[in-house]
Chain A
């Protein structure tokens, strides 16, 4: 039988990856770290049961997505609506990301954004994304398709590609 993972080892090894996913969902490194820490706290609470199972990273990602969706619901009630989403803090790096595309990504509804991040950043399949989000594969496909349509509209016609139907073949 394989060695069961130690909680601390898992924390050290995976916190960066989980935070990256959280950042792509929320667009704020501070909130991303809070969400990541909260996800590990949840895991710690259930560690007695979780430690015997596969898919611990999937659990973390699922938790962080759900925490973030909860957070968006809370913020929806307390935040002031503005004409344009405010720019969130971005740390300049050697390779500047496409700010327009990231802004477009952040304008997506939470579920669509989660589908895009999980599919194209975490490289999860449609089935894995559906399992993680607790919905059907068809929902993932339709949400992803709508998200890509929205992103394409923001990016302009230069990236229109007929290969978008690839997902439907999965």
Chain B
């Protein structure tokens, strides 16, 4: 069994994963309510909260799973907020020392990359390796507040980055759009909720696609165009058309993501067998539906991460410590260091 810790940003999380059975338990403390009051994650508060909550969460885990079965401790060592990562790595090393088991550093982004496969594993743990082979090569899209990445997980289980964002991440575009619209934090879910009552074609925002034949994303032009539009609209009009603004803005983000993912699938010339969606923004229903449709059109399996594995969570850390055990850049041992700027591959 692998025991995993995650503390890269504002969730303190612990999980246990047994390759023979699946995720054995997940314990999480979200600081969302705390940071909501501040309009975003406050790094020093987040650090103190991790320090406060890891102990009690690990104690709870100990009452629910047999720590004697733990063969490895996995901990997120990047990317993320430096001091938050440091608390997790220190806690992970302590656990490793106490349980006399090795400690492995997990790349948070690679854990997102692997997270759509947690559900595949859960369906039939004993047949996972064979089923995984039928789903590779895999095109993955990670969409979160800090990242927008298209990557390939090839038949040899190697991860290669295909494209990223040139400026803002998709989640960031939603958060900053929400800020311009005078909404609160977290902006993405608020926009999604308001968009339910709006028309997605009411306003024509740029799709941030840059050159048609390029895979990289760009969202800063979208943010700027919303800013220009709002400057020209009287306050009453903005209020009256808030739902339409949210729906149209969200659609522009979703379209940009779906178009680039579609382009990558087409370039794969039928080579891809599955399309994954993960990261915090993967919970957005319009995005899920859009990619589901795309996958069907292209004849590939659609693998969205389960909602509880989209945001920051330790389940995906534990799972990827196992599934991604051949990561060539893997770091292990008591010398494990934090790396706030770690990249996918």
Do A and B actually bind?
A: no
Residue ranges of A at the interface with B (Cβ–Cβ < 8 Å): none
